[in-house]
Amino acid sequence: EDELSRKGDFERVFPSHASSRYLRFFEQPRYLNILLNQWEQKYWLNRSNG
């Protein structure tokens, strides 16, 4: 949620509901990046439930 308030006029690409396409650009898969990606995919339409 902190990222949403700081992004200003920029579009946040990670983490976001569509960020799984960017995971391949990281040097190695990290648990927290994968966890954030999964959370965004599940709750991006209803953030109050997450």
Phi, psi of 2 (to 5 degrees): -60, -40
Q: What is the pLDDT of residues 1-50, one digit of tens each?
A: 677 778 788 887 787 888 888 889 999 989 998 998 888 888 877 766 65
How far from 13 is each of 2, 33, 35, 38, CA to CA, in Å? 14, 12, 15, 14
Per DSSP, 12 falls in state P
Its pTM stands at: 0.62
